[in-house]
Amino acid sequence: MTRIAKIALVLMTASLLINPALAVDPPEDLGYGVLGIYTEPAATPEDQTYLEGIPPGTIHTVYFVLYHANLTSYNLGGFEFSWRVEPAEMTPNVVGMEWGIGEDLALNFGDEFNLLVGHARRDPHAPDEPFVLFSADLLFLETPGNAAVFLGPSVPDSIEDEMAYADFVFPEELHVMKPNNAGQTLGDPVFFFNPTVATEQTSLTEIKALFD
């Protein structure tokens, strides 16, 4: 491959990485619940799994959405999981939360980062309809650098080392939730703050190396 061809390839790759696709498709139904974080309450052309160019002093709302819940009654009774930002110093302030089931109809025995939530009434959904568990209003006092959001089990956890949800009518039914990422593993992120910051630096370094 000639040097010009290499430069063209790197520039094309950098363009794809620095401009992630806006459309977000629902996760594939593999027979278990999948939890993701989004900028919209449902998968739309405007939906994203990242926030980019965050000015200081601004509030951004994100939605925690459960897809493919395996519920006998199609009524969600509660859920348990935690979430965190890495690096930790880039964690925004949570200045507001709104439960998907409605105000005063969910009781959280944890906090805004460690969710131990029970529902006070039925929340019927169609079999393929996602559940918006809650929305969180994130206040960024400073513009964050490149950071990622991870999901994990709650403390304490009902299913060891797993995120979980329960049926309202049959509370003994506990089900595992998997995170919405490529491997659906707790070790990989599901949401990003300024994901292109590190990508731009890496791509420019690669381009510069071609001229050395």
Q: Report the share of the chain in percent with pLDDT over 90.
A: 67
What is the C-alpha separation between 167 and 209, in angstroms, rounded?
A: 56
pLDDT, mean of residues 152-156: 98
pLDDT, mean of residues 155-175: 96
Say if residue 36's pLDDT is above 70: yes
What is the C-alpha separation between 7 and 210, in angstroms, rounded?
A: 7
Which of the pair, 8 or 106, is modelled with greater confidence? 106
What is the C-alpha separation between 99 and 64, in angstroms, rounded?
A: 10
Q: What is the pTM of this model?
A: 0.82
pLDDT computed for residue 45 by the predictor: 67
pLDDT, mean of residues 36-60: 89
pLDDT, mean of residues 20-44: 81
pLDDT, mean of residues 129-155: 95
Return the closest-CA partner of residue 78 out of 200, 204, 164, 7: 164
Return the closest-CA partner of residue 34 out of 143, 179, 201, 185: 179
Q: Among the residues of the chain, which ranges form H helices?
A: 3-18, 196-209
Say if residue 52's pLDDT is above 70: yes
What value does the CA radius of gyration of the chain take, rounded to a whole number of Å?
Answer: 19
Which of the pair, 45 or 202, is modelled with greater confidence? 45
Say if residue 205's pLDDT is above 80: no
Q: CA dist 43 to 14, 39, 64, 159, Å?
A: 26, 9, 12, 28
Sign of the Cα torsion 116, 120, 122, 123 reads negative
Regarding beta strands 131-140 and 93-99, do their DSSP bridges make them parallel or antiparallel, or are they unpaired? antiparallel
* Residue 132 contacts residue 146 (beta carbons within 8 Å): no
The overall average pLDDT reported for the chain is 84
What is the C-alpha separation between 132 and 121, in angstroms, rounded?
A: 15
Two tokens, residue 140: 């960024």
Two tokens, residue 183: 């491997």
pLDDT computed for residue 194 by the predictor: 93
pLDDT, mean of residues 154-171: 97
What is the C-alpha separation between 198 and 192, in angstroms, rounded?
A: 12
pLDDT, mean of residues 141-159: 95
pLDDT computed for residue 123 by the predictor: 86
Which of the pair, 166 or 24, is modelled with greater confidence? 166
